[in-house]
């Protein structure tokens, strides 16, 4: 039985989306060439991953001659919101408070970080959200 496709981005898909968000659009060859600067990457692998991104509706495409030109259909911010919502639901019972407590306990926030966080909380309270 086939495994259910994840709606979230895999690491490889994330790298492709970073290229698309940075450039606005890119061909499969341009994406492959960019990825190959860090790690050898096959054109056909990138082609398949771009198709998957289009199926997930993270990316759209147009055909230009024989090349497919991909562009982001979702902003980086919207992708972050979706990933955070999944993380909250999967590991923290949908509770931002539990996530915040975990972050405070498990990270090395210093006093300046906490002061800046409190400032943002106060600003959000003033705006009513």
Asked if 107 and 66 sit in the same domain, the reply is no
Which pLDDT value is given to residue 109?
79
**What is this structure's pTM?**
0.78
Asked if 60 and 106 sit in the same domain, the reply is no
Asked if 64 and 98 sit in the same domain, the reply is no
Asked if 107 and 60 sit in the same domain, the reply is no
Which pLDDT value is given to residue 1?
53
Asked if 51 and 105 sit in the same domain, the reply is no
Helix (H) or strand (E) holding 129: none
Asked if 100 and 40 sit in the same domain, the reply is no
Q: CATH number for the domain including 18?
A: 1.10.10.10
Tens digit of pLDDT at every position of the chain (129 positions): 554 556 789 999 999 999 999 999 999 999 999 999 999 999 999 999 999 999 999 999 999 999 999 999 999 999 999 999 999 999 999 998 898 889 888 888 788 888 888 888 888 888 875
Burial (Cβ within 10 Å: 0-12, 13-18, ≥19) of residue 26? buried
Asked if 63 and 102 sit in the same domain, the reply is no
- The rounded distance, in Å, linking the Cα atoms of 68 and 20 is 13
Asked if 63 and 33 sit in the same domain, the reply is yes
- The rounded distance, in Å, linking the Cα atoms of 50 and 66 is 15
Using an 8 Å Cβ cutoff, are 18 and 58 in contact?
Answer: no
Asked if 72 and 125 sit in the same domain, the reply is no
Asked if 18 and 61 sit in the same domain, the reply is yes
Q: Which residue range is the domain that position 8 belongs to?
A: 1-91
Residues 6+ apart with CB under 8 A from 37: none
Asked if 80 and 60 sit in the same domain, the reply is yes
Asked if 25 and 44 sit in the same domain, the reply is yes
| Number of domains the chain contains | 2
């Amino acid at each position: 039985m086939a495994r259910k496709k994840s709606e979230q981005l895999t690491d490889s898909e994330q790298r492709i989306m970073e290229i698309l968000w940075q450039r606005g659009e890119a061909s499969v060859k341009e994406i492959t060439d960019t990825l190959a600067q860090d790690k050898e990457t096959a054109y056909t692998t990138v082609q398949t991953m771009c198709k998957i991104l289009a199926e997930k509706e993270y990316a759209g495409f147009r055909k230009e001659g024989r090349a497919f030109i991909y562009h982001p259909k979702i902003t980086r911010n919207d992708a972050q919101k979706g990933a955070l919502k999944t993380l909250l639901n999967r590991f923290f019972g949908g509770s931002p408070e539990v996530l915040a407590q975990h972050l405070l306990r498990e990270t090395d926030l210093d006093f300046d970080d906490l002061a800046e966080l409190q400032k943002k909380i106060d600003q959000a309270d003033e705006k009513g959200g």
